[in-house]
Every structure is written in structure tokens, then in C-alpha cells.
């Protein structure tokens, strides 16, 4: 089975039903192979009946499980196709064509997936190790997880095609480090495209994003005490002296 055929199987009902030779749910402790023939038959029938699933916004990184579908008669070296499941989000990431992934609600497939993953320990929430915007790496890549939870509907979209792709890399290959993330940014309108959402990016945050800086808010007092006092050592001398002088002043 070719990749295109596997993708078609994942999102459209074929003329002839397929049979699974194996189904694996993989997590942090390894893969659980489902051997229940009836369950495998229900899984593939439900996948075939998904039709064109409605996409949902890309969720923030969370613990996830990898599903491997092995179709009988497929001569591929690995699984025929793969999906990812984020139980806490109640969402599935699936491939819609060779270069595109999307997130969907599992619908009728949900109860079957919960049954198939019983006893499977999910991979831990992935940490973002690298981010590029328009091909340029940014500082503080982990802070860019904020883009997945940013709220605020965009009121206008760019007139010209100035969208810059945002690529995410995580420590372990998974749904957020592939095209499933589907993040793009328009600097002309400060708009973030997040799968099926267009989100307005606040001006201050947009400035940091466009400069490739960390999106974490600066912490601590911004007043330049060190410059004013001439360094920590000088401060240790001046401050006590000033305190003593003020105590003596009334006398």
C-alpha cells in the first residue's frame, strides 16, 4: 500500500473494506499489540467510515499515544499508516495527504481507542526544543508553546501572501513536530493561523515573535539598580552608609 492509499484509507471509505493484520498502541513503556480480531475489525471499519472529518484547532502539546495500523496484504516495511491520540485533549492527529496532517475529534472511534489503549502509558508531554519562523531559529523555543493557547479572534487577514511557516521540533518525533502543528504567522496583520483558527497576536507579543525572541514575559524589577549604585559591591557600602546618615540626621 502506498502512502497516498494509506492516507485515503484514513479519511475516506474505500470501495472494498480492508482488514488489519495488526494494530499497535505505543507509549512510554513500549507498544501494546491488539490481538482481538473483533476489536481490530471494528477499528478499521470505523476509520473507513470517518469520511471527511472536521478539523479542529491544533491543541497545546500534551501526553500522547501513537497508533500503528498494519493493513493485511500491505507490503510496506512499516505500518500502513499512523495516527496520534492525545487522551487529555480528546483529539486524534491523522494524515490527510503525504504533506499534511490535521487534528480531529475521534467521534465513534473514541470508545474503541480507549479500549485499545487500556494499560498503555502515554508518552510524556513533549518539550519544544527548536522553533523556526520563516526558516530562522528563535530564542527560548519552549516559550513558543504559548502560541497554541493564545486567544483572540483576528478581525482582518493580510491582503498579500506574507504568511511565514512556524516549524516546531520536539525531543521525540510526534504530532507537534510534524505538519500537524500547522502554524503560520502574518507580520503585516499580526495574525497567527492555527489549523482552522485565525488568532490576533497582541502587539507586544508580535514584536518579540518577529524579532525571534523568547515569548516569556520579562521577570523582575526593570529599574537599573546596578548602574545607579555602581555594582553590587558599591551598593553594599553606600546603602548602609546612607542608612546610618539618616539615623544621625535628627541629632
Q: In the chain, what is the straight-line distance between the N-terminal and C-terminal CA atoms, in Å?
A: 95
- Give every CB contact of residue 49 below 8 A, 6+ residues apart in sequence: 13, 108
In a domain, 51, yes or no: yes
In a domain, 224, yes or no: no
DSSP-derived secondary structure letter, 221? -
In a domain, 227, yes or no: no
Cα 170 to Cα 180: distance, rounded to the nearest angstrom: 13
pLDDT of residue 164: 94
Same domain as 80, residue 10 = yes
Cα 1 to Cα 187: distance, rounded to the nearest angstrom: 41
Same domain as 132, residue 42 = no
Contact 83, 94 (CB under 8 A): yes
Same domain as 108, residue 24 = yes
Of the residues 116, 136, 159, which one is the last residue of a structural domain?
116
Length of the chain: 251
Q: What is the pLDDT along the chain (251 residues), one digit of tens a residue?
A: 433 334 444 443 343 568 898 999 999 999 999 988 999 998 888 887 766 677 888 899 999 999 999 998 887 788 988 999 999 999 999 887 777 788 999 888 889 999 999 999 999 999 999 999 999 999 999 999 999 999 999 989 998 889 999 999 998 888 998 777 789 999 999 999 998 899 999 999 999 999 999 999 764 434 444 334 444 443 333 333 333 333 334 43
Same domain as 197, residue 147 = yes
The residue range of the domain holding 180 is: 128-210
In a domain, 66, yes or no: yes
State how many domains the chain has: 2
In a domain, 222, yes or no: no
Same domain as 98, residue 7 = yes
In a domain, 90, yes or no: yes
> CB burial class (10 A; 0-12, 13-18, 19+) of residue 76?
middle
In a domain, 240, yes or no: no
Same domain as 133, residue 105 = no
* 247-to-229, 237, 239 alpha-carbon distances in Å: 21, 16, 13
Neighbours of 116 (CB within 10 A): 23
pLDDT of residue 163: 94
Same domain as 62, residue 148 = no
Contact 63, 124 (CB under 8 A): yes
Of the residues 116, 148, 180, which one is the last residue of a structural domain?
116
Of the residues 116, 137, 154, which one is the last residue of a structural domain?
116
Amino acid at each position: 500500500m502506498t502512502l497516498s492509499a494509506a492516507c485515503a484509507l484514513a479519511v475516506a471509505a474505500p470501495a472494498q473494506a480492508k482488514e488489519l493484520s495488526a494494530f499497535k498502541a505505543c507509549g512510554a513503556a513500549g507498544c501494546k499489540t491488539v490481538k482481538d480480531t473483533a476489536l481490530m475489525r471494528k477499528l478499521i471499519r470505523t476509520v473507513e467510515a470517518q469520511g471527511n472529518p472536521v478539523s479542529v484547532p491544533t491543541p497545546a502539546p500534551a501526553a500522547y499515544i501513537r497508533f500503528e495500523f498494519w493493513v493485511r496484504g500491505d507490503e510496506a516495511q512499516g505500518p500502513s499508516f499512523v495516527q496520534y491520540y492525545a487522551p487529555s485533549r480528546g483529539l486524534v492527529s491523522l494524515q490527510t495527504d503525504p504533506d499534511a496532517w490535521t487534528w480531529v475529534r475521534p467521534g465513534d472511534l473514541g470508545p474503541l481507542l480507549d479500549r485499545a489503549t487500556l494499560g498503555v502509558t502515554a508518552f510524556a508531554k513533549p518539550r519544544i526544543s527548536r522553533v523556526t519562523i520563516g526558516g530562522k531559529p528563535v530564542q527560548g523555543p519552549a516559550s513558543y508553546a504559548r502560541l497554541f493557547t493564545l486567544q483572540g479572534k483576528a478581525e482582518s487577514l493580510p491582503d498579500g501572501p506574507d504568511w511565514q511557516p512556524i516549524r516546531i521540533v520536539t525531543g521525540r518525533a510526534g504530532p507537534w513536530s510534524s505538519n500537524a502543528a500547522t502554524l503560520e504567522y502574518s507580520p503585516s496583520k499580526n495574525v497567527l493561523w492555527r489549523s482552522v483558527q485565525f488568532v490576533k497576536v497582541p502587539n507586544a507579543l508580535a514584536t518579540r515573535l518577529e524579532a525571534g525572541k523568547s515569548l516569556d514575559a520579562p521577570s523582575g524589577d526593570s529599574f537599573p539598580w546596578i548602574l545607579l549604585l555602581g555594582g553590587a559591591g558599591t551598593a553594599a557600602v553606600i546603602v548602609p552608609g546612607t542608612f546610618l546618615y539618616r539615623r544621625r540626621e535628627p541629632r
